[in-house]
């Protein structure tokens, strides 16, 4: 598909990508969303917590929301979308990836940028309810990569899934990892690293035979974390093997349902390869929008809701 021209223009103060990213991550508040938690037992005996929110009237439409690295279903970019869609007669289920709902998961493994098997189980669980004939998937950052990989790695997508949306998605993981290790992103890098190490320390209490505290204290970078834990816990040779196998970029040509990618040009987390212009031009189902502003998941707009929230609904409605 041709590259989409964007209509998004950030308010003057938020045209700086760093400011938009920080404000959206630390200051934005979304209130008034009522969520009901469901614990889903997975096929390997572990669990995932799903936070549901509903429209006032019964609907056959549902949006599945996937958060980013070290996020959860109460992050405001998730609750903002859920609330906006609920107000427009679409239910929402906000996924907490393994270990992200405030409680450590049971197994040594957790979640990562290419983990689609858990998403498949979630989708099958939703379909078994027989409530929804139209399902949309919207992922942010890491969750956006999961969304795109899921839609492109197999042709066996349930017919109820109509649309995919990926926001601020690092679809080329090696490039995005390199950007996160640059000086301009040091504050973000160090925050991610701290949170991930704290979670890993919790795992040593249950998995001492495979993980030692001394190993965790040796982690100095996110590369180290992915080498020590992400790759080994999830069956990859090393961090770079993980990045190569799980980058959604290679799966984009195979996507067969209408899918929107919104990646801001001011997003400091994304490398040039994360703007898949060639792939979008060569796949009639892939729509790429590259606003000048927005930072990383920071598409601040007039009113209570963000541009990416309004744009996602508009994209879905235009296809109907």
**Quick check: pTM over 0.75?**
yes
* pLDDT of the residue at 130: 87
Mark whether 29 and 138 lie in a shared domain.
yes
Residue 215 pLDDT exceeds 80: yes
Looking at every residue in the chain, the average pLDDT score rounds to: 96
Which of 183, 217, 246 is the last residue in one of the domains?
246
Looking at residue 211, what is its pLDDT?
Answer: 85
Beta-strand relationship, 134-140 and 161-167: parallel
Domain region containing 203: 173-246
pLDDT at 154: 87
Provide the 3-class DSSP secondary structure of residue 162.
strand
- Tokens linked to 89: 């007669």
pLDDT value at residue 155 = 84
Q: pLDDT tens across 49-59, in order?
A: 999 999 999 99
Measured between alpha carbons, how far is residue 279 from residues 116, 284, 290 in Å?
A: 21, 9, 14
Is residue 168 domain-shared with residue 260, that is, in the same domain? yes
Residue whose entry in the numeric block shows the structure tokens 């001394």: 214
The answer on 178 and 158 residing in a single domain is: no
Kindly tell me if the per-residue pLDDT of 228 is higher than 90: yes
In a shared domain, residues 157 and 262: yes
Both 50 and 187 in one domain: the answer is no
Tens-digit pLDDT profile for residues 109-165: 999 999 999 999 999 999 998 899 999 999 999 999 999 999 999 888 999 999 999
pLDDT band at 225 (very low <50, low <70, confident <90, very high): very high
Same domain, 295 and 180: no
What gap in Å lies between CA 289 and CA 166, rounded to an integer? Answer: 10
| pLDDT at residue 212 tops 80 | yes
Confidence of residue 2 (pLDDT cuts 50, 70, 90): confident
Would the pLDDT of 315 be above 90?
yes
Give CA–CA dist 169/148, Å, rounded.
9
**3 near 277, Cβ under 8 Å?**
yes
Instruction: Based on the fold, state whether residues 85 and 32 are members of the same structural domain.
Output: yes
Indicate if 16 and 80 belong to the same structural domain: yes
pLDDT average, residue stretch 30-52? 97
């Amino acid at each position: 598909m041709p590259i989409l021209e964007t209509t998004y223009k950030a308010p003057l103060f938020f045209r700086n990508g760093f400011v938009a990213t920080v404000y959206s991550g630390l200051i934005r508040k979304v209130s008034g969303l009522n969520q009901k938690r469901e614990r889903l037992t997975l096929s390997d005996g572990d669990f995932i917590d799903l936070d549901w929110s509903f429209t006032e009237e019964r609907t056959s439409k549902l949006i599945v929301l996937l958060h980013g690295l070290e996020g959860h279903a109460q992050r405001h970019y998730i609750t903002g979308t859920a609330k906006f869609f609920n107000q427009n007669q679409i239910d929402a289920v906000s996924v907490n990836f393994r270990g992200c709902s405030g409680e450590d998961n049971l197994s040594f493994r957790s979640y990562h940028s290419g983990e689609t098997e858990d998403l498949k189980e979630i989708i099958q669980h939703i379909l078994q309810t027989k409530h929804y004939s139209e399902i949309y998937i919207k992922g942010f950052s890491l969750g956006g990569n999961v969304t795109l990989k899921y839609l492109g790695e197999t042709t066996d997508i349930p017919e109820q899934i109509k649309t995919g949306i990926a926001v601020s998605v690092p679809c080329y993981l090696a490039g995005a990892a390199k950007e996160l290790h640059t000086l301009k992103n040091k504050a973000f890098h160090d925050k991610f690293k701290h949170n991930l190490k704290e979670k890993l320390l919790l795992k040593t209490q249950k998995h001492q035979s495979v993980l030692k505290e001394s190993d965790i204290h040796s982690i100095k970078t996110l590369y180290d974390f992915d080498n020590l834990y992400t790759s080994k816990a999830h069956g990859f040779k090393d961090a770079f093997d993980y990045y190569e196998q799980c980058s959604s970029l290679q799966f984009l040509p195979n996507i067969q349902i209408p899918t929107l990618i919104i990646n801001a040009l001011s997003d400091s987390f994304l490398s040039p390869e994360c703007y898949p212009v060639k792939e979008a031009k060569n796949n009639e189902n892939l729509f790429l929008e590259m606003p000048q502003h927005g930072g990383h998941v920071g598409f601040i707009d007039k009113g209570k809701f963000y541009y990416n929230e309004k744009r996602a609904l508009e994209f879905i409605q235009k296809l109907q």
